[in-house]
Amino acid sequence: MLQANYYKKLVLPATLLILFVFNAHLIYEIISKGNDGNCGCFGSLLPMTPLQAVIKNFIAMGVLIYLYKIASIKNDKSNSWVLSTITFGLIMLVFMVGMKPPSSMNSAAVETVIDEVIEDDSNELKIEIPKVDSILKPKKQIDSVVVVKKEEPKQVKSGFSNIFPEIDKGRKVLCFFAPGCDHCKETAKELTQMRNQVKDFPEVNIAFMDEEPELIPDFFAYSGRKYTNKLLDIASFWKIVGNRNTPVVYYLWNGNIIKEYDGIDAKAFNKAEFKKIIQTDYEKLK
């Protein structure tokens, strides 16, 4: 926008087209998922809801149309090297500077918090059977202990151990959340409520997307508890999550995915169903 090469012929129309496509995407997001979260236009520097971003884009498009009308194609220069060098230089700048993990990853606000207390991690059911002679002779109390081993799934690699090394050992809950996502906060709050109700609730691990990381303390304040967590850059987060939508919740047992939830529609997190699943023996879950 600050150079004159192909200004009216290419730069202004291409910019208008990009804003038009982005607006169509934002309008689709609003219709399908609601006006929640940060559109990401300015990252965490200037958070905007999708509707605010649409309004901003329409204003920008109006300015561009005005510039197109007053600009003269005769004033366009035709040095393609200047335009292409600036374009690819800015793209390189985004990957070299813009996508580096922020210093906030090492700050106290987003440091990994490991304060889960495993109240009962045993998978053994102990049944005490008194011997006959112990009934006849109370003074010589001799009890035998029969240990019944509960069935567990065979240990496999879930593919998430690069985020949390111990995730494939035992029963774990793995969540992929965005700090500013209202649905993610509600899901975390429901997990905390269940944890307070179920004695042997699995350990909870949260992988946060590096968008608005400064909101993580508020996220845990709303959920009612701090959980083991890690901050992932945006590209890595979506590479792992794939075509799923946040909030994403996995129930893992020895690396096996027992149950998976994602988004806010048909596959959304179901508190009642999840509470029942985590209290069910593997023999019945099979």
Indicate whether 93 and 195 sit together in one domain: no
Boundary (domain end) residue, out of 77, 98, 119: 98
* 145 — pLDDT class (breaks 50, 70, 90): low
Q: 57 is in which domain, residue-wise? A: 7-98
Indicate whether 177 and 81 sit together in one domain: no
164 within some domain: no
13 within some domain: yes
More confident residue, 126 or 1: 1
53 within some domain: yes
- Compute the distance between CA of residue 181 and CA of residue 247 in angstroms, rounded to an integer: 8
Tokens of 238: 């979506």
142 within some domain: no
184-208 pLDDT, tens digit each: 999 999 999 999 999 889 999 999 9
152 within some domain: no
Which single residue is written with the structure tokens 């035709």?
78
At 126 the pLDDT is 54
147-172 pLDDT, tens digit each: 566 789 999 999 999 999 999 999 99
18 within some domain: yes
Q: What is the mean pLDDT of residues 219-232?
A: 95
More confident residue, 137 or 243: 243
Boundary (domain end) residue, out of 56, 74, 98: 98
Count how many domains the chain has. 2
- Compute the distance between CA of residue 1 and CA of residue 4 in angstroms, rounded to an integer: 8
Indicate whether 176 and 88 sit together in one domain: no
Indicate whether 92 and 180 sit together in one domain: no
168-184 core/surface letters (b: 16 or more CB in 10 A; e: else) = bbbbbbbbbbbbbbebb
Rounded alpha-carbon distances, angstroms, from residue 110 to 102, 122, 195, 207: 11, 31, 22, 11
272 within some domain: yes
Q: State the CATH number of the domain containing residue 281.
A: 3.40.30.10
Mean per-residue pLDDT of the chain: 84
Distance between first and last Cα of the chain? 61
At 104 the pLDDT is 43
Indicate whether 75 and 180 sit together in one domain: no
* 115 — pLDDT class (breaks 50, 70, 90): very low
- Compute the distance between CA of residue 174 and CA of residue 193 in angstroms, rounded to an integer: 16
Rounded to two decimals, the pTM is 0.53
Boundary (domain end) residue, out of 67, 98, 129: 98
CA atoms within 13 A on the CB side of 113: 16
- Compute the distance between CA of residue 234 and CA of residue 214 in angstroms, rounded to an integer: 15
Indicate whether 179 and 276 sit together in one domain: yes
Q: What is the mean pLDDT of residues 72-95?
A: 88
Report whether pLDDT(221) > 80: yes
